[in-house]
Amino acid sequence: MRSSVNRPAAVAAVVVAVVVTAVVGFALSNSRGAAGPSSASVVGTAGRTAPPVNYVAMGSSFAAGPGEGPVVDRRCLRTGDNYPHQVAARLGMRLIDVTCSGSTAAELVTGPVRKHGKIRPQVEAVDHNTRLVTITTGGNDIDFVGRIIAQACNNMRALGLAHCGSGRMPPPPPGPADFGRLEQSLVNAVEAVRARSPLARVVLVDYTPVVAIDAPPCQLLPLLPWEVEQDAQIAAEMSAVNQRVADRTGAQHVTTASLAPLHSACAAEPWIRGYGNKMVFHPNAAGKTGIADLVAAAVR
């Protein structure tokens, strides 16, 4: 991959208008070292006399919703206004939320091993009472947000403006083998859910859109045009992986691909927090609600 550090003139043409604020939580926002779920966030439905109809939410930070909103699990940076909480409230279901920032698709079934020990796999939250499972994951398997952060940071460093504190170069773009492993991990997760609850409806939910190929550059996404195009292609392939998994397993796929021009970081109504914000390039409040709208409409 070409380095933007040696192209200050090109970078300046794209991001000269950027006004940089301190970036809080850059390393934390995409860290594979973030702690896993020590316990699920369980939201009940008061007054029920019948057995609860359970909804289990699985996935990484784009489902956990870190960065804003009330924190309900500090180890996983899970918030009480994330899209699973909103979906559960709309559908009147009992939510068992095991989403965890930093987790991967492979860890849904195997569980991560981190400094505090092995964490229980998210799929273990599924039982015979589970009727809905949403899965939003995959970005950490291919370092999706991490590469965008590195690109933005290095572009700003080339102008002497970055406050990222890191000179990390973006990783190479993921290839067919990487996406193949991601696809198989998701198939394994869906099959594990079905083994624990054959009646559960499984919904694969895309990431909130971060970049759009045709969107003009802006101060919230200080990338070069070729970087935007490359990252948009990676996001599109992640969505394609979800569709292939849905085709193979009979799961449902809620796609966000067509929403990128409307709600990516540089759009008029972004669903993503851009550069300079806490938990950068992750869903904002509007994004959490927007994804909840899509999921609730799809499963009603």
pLDDT of residue 276: 86
Residue with tokens 């099959």: 191
pLDDT of residue 42: 66
- Alpha-carbon dihedral of residues 263, 177, 35, 246, nearest 10 degrees? 60
47 φ/ψ sector (left φ>0, alpha ψ -120 to 50, else beta) = left
DSSP H or E segment with residue 194: helix 176-196
* Stretch 271-299: mean pLDDT: 96
pLDDT of residue 214: 81
pLDDT of residue 116: 46
Catalytic residues: 61, 282
Residue 278's pLDDT band (boundaries 50, 70, 90)? confident
Is residue 259 over pLDDT 50?
yes
pLDDT of residue 160: 73
Question: Domain holding 32: CATH number?
Answer: 3.40.50.1110
* Stretch 280-284: mean pLDDT: 97
Summarize pLDDT for 152-189 with one digit per residue, the tens: 998 888 777 766 755 678 899 999 999 999 999 999 99
- Cα 247–Cα 252–Cα 258 angle in degrees, nearest 5: 95
pLDDT of residue 37: 41
Range of the structural domain that residue 100 is part of: 4-299
Cα 144 from Cα 114, distance rounded (Å): 21
pLDDT of residue 115: 47
pLDDT of residue 120: 87
- Flag the least confident range among 43-52, 135-144, 183-192, 278-287: 43-52
* Stretch 135-155: mean pLDDT: 95
Residue of 85, 84, 77, 82 lying closest to 24 (CA atoms): 77
pLDDT of residue 18: 38
Is residue 13 over pLDDT 50?
no
Residue of 96, 118, 51 lying closest to 193 (CA atoms): 96
Q: What is the pTM of this model?
A: 0.84
Number of domains in the chain: 1
**Residues ≥6 apart with Cβ < 8 Å to 29:** 61, 66, 67, 101, 145, 149, 279, 280, 281, 282
Identify the residue with better confidence: 26 or 205: 205
pLDDT of residue 169: 84
Is residue 107 over pLDDT 90?
yes
Summarize pLDDT for 194-253 with one digit per residue, the tens: 999 999 999 999 999 999 988 877 999 999 999 999 999 999 999 999 999 999 999 999
Cα 154 from Cα 293, distance rounded (Å): 35
Summarize pLDDT for 213-222 with one digit per residue, the tens: 888 779 999 9
pLDDT of residue 215: 80
Is residue 21 over pLDDT 80?
no
Summarize pLDDT for 36-95 with one digit per residue, the tens: 344 576 666 544 556 678 999 999 999 999 999 999 998 899 999 999 999 999 999 999
* Stretch 136-156: mean pLDDT: 94
Identify the residue with better confidence: 300 or 141: 141
